[in-house]
């Protein structure tokens, strides 16, 4: 494997969650592999979600010091900043993937006619 791999916060949390030993083992193995191959990537949002989850929601909780040490380590994965350009590019990719999916008879989710759009709620 040579491609960079984006790691979601769930994988990072699973590696710290002792409630499911099999899931914890798989996540820890995967993270270890990504470290050894230097292929792991995450976003600042993922690292933030990880920190909040393991220090506030996980049982038993991870200490804030240990969680911050983890986050500092994952900063070596050069977290992707989320800005308007990235969001625009993500939307372009989504549209391309939806167009390809439609070619194979798998449409993307259609908008709900009875659900108001956020843009319609903006009075300015």
One domain, residues 88 and 62:
no
In a domain, 41, yes or no: yes
Answer positive or negative: Cα dihedral of 53, 5, 33, 29.
positive
97 plus 59 within the same structural domain: no
Q: For the chain, how many residues are written?
A: 124
Range of the structural domain that residue 22 is part of: 5-77
Among 25, 41, 104, 102, CA closest to 74: 41
Q: Which residue has the tokens 């699973």?
A: 14
Contact by Cβ (8 Å): 79, 92? no
The domain boundary residue, chosen from 54, 77, 100: 77
Reported as a single tens digit per residue, the pLDDT across 50-88 is 999 999 999 999 999 999 999 999 999 999 888 899 889
Domain count of the chain? 2
Same domain, 100 and 43: no
Least confident of 21-25, 84-88, 119-123: 119-123
In a domain, 121, yes or no: no
Task: Round to whole Å and give the CA distance between 23 and 25.
Answer: 5
Tell me: do 11 and 72 sit in the same domain: yes
Same domain as 47, residue 88: no
């Amino acid at each position: 494997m040579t491609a960079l791999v984006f790691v979601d916060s769930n994988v990072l949390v699973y590696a710290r969650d002792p409630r499911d030993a099999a899931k914890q083992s798989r996540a820890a193995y995967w993270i270890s592999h990504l470290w050894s191959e230097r292929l792991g990537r995450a976003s600042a949002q993922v690292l933030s979600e990880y920190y909040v989850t393991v220090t506030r929601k996980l049982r038993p909780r991870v200490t804030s010091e240990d969680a911050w040490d983890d986050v500092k380590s994952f900063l070596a994965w050069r977290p992707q900043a989320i800005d308007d350009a990235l969001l625009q590019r993500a939307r372009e990719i989504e549209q391309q993937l939806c167009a390809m999916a439609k070619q194979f008879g798998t449409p993307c989710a259609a908008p709900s006619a009875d659900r108001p759009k956020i843009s319609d709620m903006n009075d300015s």
